[in-house]
C-alpha cells in the first residue's frame, strides 16, 4: 500500500522527535517515582524507542554488591543502601547517554536530585495508590513494604514523596494501560519540555 504524503510527513516528524530526544544535549533520561510506577518496565521500552541503552539503578547496586536489594537492606541497612544508590547514579550519569530507571527513594536525596537536574532530563511516572499497590503486590521484593501494611506504607510515601517528585522536568501519568502508551506520553512530554527550554 502506498504511504500518503501526510503519513510520510508524520513518520518523518516522529523520527525527528526521536532523534531530537536522543541527542538533546546528550542528557540521560531519568525516570523517578514510587515503587510500582513502572520505571523499569516503561524505561526499558522507552530506551528501545529512542535507541538508547537502558540502565536500572537497583540492578547496578545488585551487581556491584553481589546482593539482592532485600539482602542489601538486611545486611547493611537502608542508610548504606542510600549511599550506594547515590554513588551508582552519579557514576551512571557521568557516562554516555541512556535511559535510567531509579529506585523510588533515589530522587529524595538532595544531592542525587541536583545531579539529575544538571545532567539528566527527569520524568516523574505518577500513578494512583490502587495502581501502585496492585503492581507492588505482584512481587515481594521491596524491603520497605515488608515492614507493615503495604497499602498504608505506599499511601504515606505518596504524602512525603509526591511534592518532591513534582520537581521533575516532566510528569507523566502511568496508568494501568499498555506501557507503550506511557512511552508515547513521555516522548511527547519531553519534546514539549525541550522545545520550551531551547530558546
Ligand atoms: C525503594 C524502592 C525500590 C528499591 C528499594 C527502596 C524506595 O526500587 O530501590 O527497595 O525507597 O522507594 P523500585 O522503586 O524500583 O521498586
104 lines ligand 1 (CB under 6 A): yes
Compute the distance between CA of residue 75 and CA of residue 113 in angstroms, rounded to an integer.
Answer: 26
Compute the distance between CA of residue 168 and CA of residue 158 in angstroms, rounded to an integer.
Answer: 15
103 lines ligand 1 (CB under 6 A): yes
For residues 10-35, average pLDDT = 75
Residue 16 has pLDDT above 70, yes or no: no
Q: Give the CA dihedral 139, 165, 90, 62, nearest 10 degrees.
A: -10
Q: Determine the atom of ligand 1 nearest the C-alpha atom of 33.
A: 14
Residue 19 has pLDDT above 70, yes or no: no
For residue range 32-84, list pLDDT tens digits in order. Answer: 999 999 999 999 999 999 999 999 999 999 999 999 999 999 999 999 999 99
Res 195: pLDDT: 85
Cα 169 to middle of ligand 1, angstroms: 21
For residue 170, report the phi and psi dihedrals to the nearest 5 degrees.
-135, 155
132 lines ligand 1 (CB under 6 A): no
Cα 113 to middle of ligand 1, angstroms: 16
**Atom 4 in ligand 1: residue holding the nearest Cα:** 103
Compute the distance between CA of residue 100 and CA of residue 67 in angstroms, rounded to an integer.
Answer: 20
**Atom 1 in ligand 1: residue holding the nearest Cα:** 104
For residues 127-134, average pLDDT = 96
Cα 55 to middle of ligand 1, angstroms: 15
Per-residue exposure over 45-70, b if at least 16 CB sit within 10 Å of its own CB, e if not: bbbebbebebbbbbebbbeebebebe
- Cα-only R_g, the chain: 18
150 lines ligand 1 (CB under 6 A): no
Res 1: pLDDT: 47
Q: By C-alpha distance, which of 27, 21, 55, 19 is closest to 39? A: 55
For residue range 98-111, list pLDDT tens digits in order. Answer: 999 999 999 999 99
In the chain, pLDDT over 90 holds for what percent of residues?
80
For residues 148-161, average pLDDT = 97
Residue 17 has pLDDT above 70, yes or no: no
DSSP letter for each residue of 25-68? GGPEEEEE--TTS-HHHHHHHHHHHHT--EEEHHHHHHHHHTS-
Task: Choose between 6 and 156: higher pLDDT.
Answer: 156
Average pLDDT, the chain: 91
Domains in the chain with CATH codes: 24-192 (3.40.50.300)
Amino acid at each position: 500500500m502506498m504511504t500518503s504524503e501526510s503519513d510520510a510527513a508524520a513518520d518523518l516528524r516522529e523520527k525527528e522527535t526521536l532523534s531530537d530526544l536522543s541527542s538533546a544535549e546528550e542528557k540521560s533520561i531519568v525516570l523517578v517515582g514510587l515503587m510500582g510506577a513502572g520505571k523499569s518496565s516503561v524505561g526499558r521500552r522507552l530506551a528501545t524507542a529512542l535507541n538508547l541503552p537502558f540502565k536500572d539503578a537497583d540492578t547496578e547496586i545488585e551487581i556491584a554488591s553481589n546482593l539482592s536489594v532485600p539482602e542489601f537492606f538486611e545486611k547493611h541497612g537502608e542508610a548504606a543502601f542510600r549511599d550506594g544508590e547515590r554513588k551508582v547514579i552519579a557514576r551512571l550519569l557521568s557516562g554516555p547517554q541512556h535511559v535510567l530507571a531509579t529506585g523510588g527513594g533515589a530522587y529524595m536525596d538532595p544531592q542525587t536530585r541536583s545531579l539529575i537536574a544538571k545532567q539528566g532530563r527527569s520524568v516523574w511516572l505518577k500513578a494512583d495508590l490502587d495502581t501502585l499497590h496492585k503492581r507492588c503486590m505482584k512481587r515481594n521484593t521491596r524491603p520497605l513494604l515488608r515492614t507493615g501494611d503495604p497499602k498504608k506504607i505506599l499511601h504515606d510515601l505518596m504524602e512525603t514523596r509526591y511534592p518532591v517528585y513534582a520537581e521533575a522536568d516532566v510528569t507523566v501519568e502511568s496508568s494501568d494501560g499498555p506501557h507503550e502508551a506511557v512511552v508515547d506520553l513521555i516522548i511527547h512530554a519531553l519534546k514539549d519540555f525541550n522545545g520550551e527550554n531551547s530558546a
